[in-house]
Amino acid sequence: MKCIKDFVIILAISAVHFCSLAQELKVFINPVFNSQSLDLSAEFEVKEHCIKTFKCYLTSFELLKDNRIVWTEENSNHLIDASLPESKLLNLNVPKDLQYNQISFLVGVDSLTSVSGAFGGDLDPTKGMYWAWNSGYVNLKLEGFHPNSSSPNNEFEFHLGGYLPPFQTVQRVCLFCAMNSPLEINIDLDTFIKSIDLEAISKIMSPGEKAKEMSIIAAKYFSCKYEK
């Protein structure tokens, strides 16, 4: 019994010690549309030019100092869903006094995770981001309406995924940031949509060359804003 008590005391001391050595880095993911934060929590109404769905996986978070990795998040899989405001705030537990000036992450789920089968949490297939027929995840999902779309009712649907070569869609993004400050990572959906020729292509629902090309373009519209 004494050994068990001693073990519990050691665990408690270790937990206190860990907390004293760690700090919480808040990262707010901000999809931007029409110069405003995209908010789909209210009931959706069909408009001429609008977004009705935006989801993406941001995974494998790292902090770097001058391009050298100094911290990596374990079990780093975050599903950002514009309809769920709470999903857009990430709390990263990092060591105190950690020196860094860059934040890096994947837009999408890596190939190893994709082939390992479905998981729980944000990787749960019930989140609507898993292709059971293709044994992989949808890295980014964007749906809405635009007058330039050639689809019926001017809809557009882009489900970007695929992990098999030569059409891997996961993208690494690395952004400069301030140290020990809340970070805001903006996703410029306005410019992303404007970069797409919706008259030529308004739907991607499977892996392939177009999905890869659009994934590369989407990764360019992530930027980091931080408090000084």
d(CA 73, CA 59): 9
Rg of the chain in Å (alpha carbons)? 20
Reported as a pLDDT band with limits 50, 70 and 90, residue 16 is very low
Q: Per the domain annotation, does 16 fall within a domain?
A: no
Report CA-CA distances (Å) from 124 to 105, 118, 133.
Answer: 20, 6, 15
What do you get for the CA distance between the two ends of the chain, in Å? Answer: 52
β-pairing, 155-161 vs 203-204, is parallel
Residue 39 DSSP symbol: -
Q: Per the domain annotation, does 4 fall within a domain?
A: no
Total number of domains constituting the chain: 1
Tell how far CA 20 is from the center of its chain.
Answer: 29
Give yes or no for a contact between 84 and 38, defined as CB atoms under 8 angstroms apart.
no
Q: Per the domain annotation, does 209 fall within a domain?
A: yes
Q: Per the domain annotation, does 160 fall within a domain?
A: yes
d(CA 160, CA 211): 5
Which tens digit of pLDDT belongs to each residue from 3-12?
Answer: 445 433 444 4
Burial of 111-142, coded b for 16+ CB within 10 Å and e otherwise, reads: eebbeeeeeeebbeeebebbbeeeebbbbbbb
Q: Which domain holds residue 187?
A: 25-226
pTM: 0.88
pLDDT of residue 100: 97
Q: Per the domain annotation, does 5 fall within a domain?
A: no
d(CA 190, CA 171): 20
* Closest listed residue to residue 221, CA positions, set 180, 192, 179: 192
Paired with 94 in beta bridges are 23
Name which residue leads in pLDDT, 64 or 150: 64
Q: Which residue stretches of 153-201 are H helix?
A: 189-194
Reported as a pLDDT band with limits 50, 70 and 90, residue 115 is confident
How many CB atoms sit inside 10 A of residue 110's CB? 19
Q: Per the domain annotation, does 133 fall within a domain?
A: yes
Q: Per the domain annotation, does 32 fall within a domain?
A: yes
β-pairing, 130-131 vs 136-145, is antiparallel
pLDDT surpasses 50 at 173? yes
pLDDT of residue 11: 42
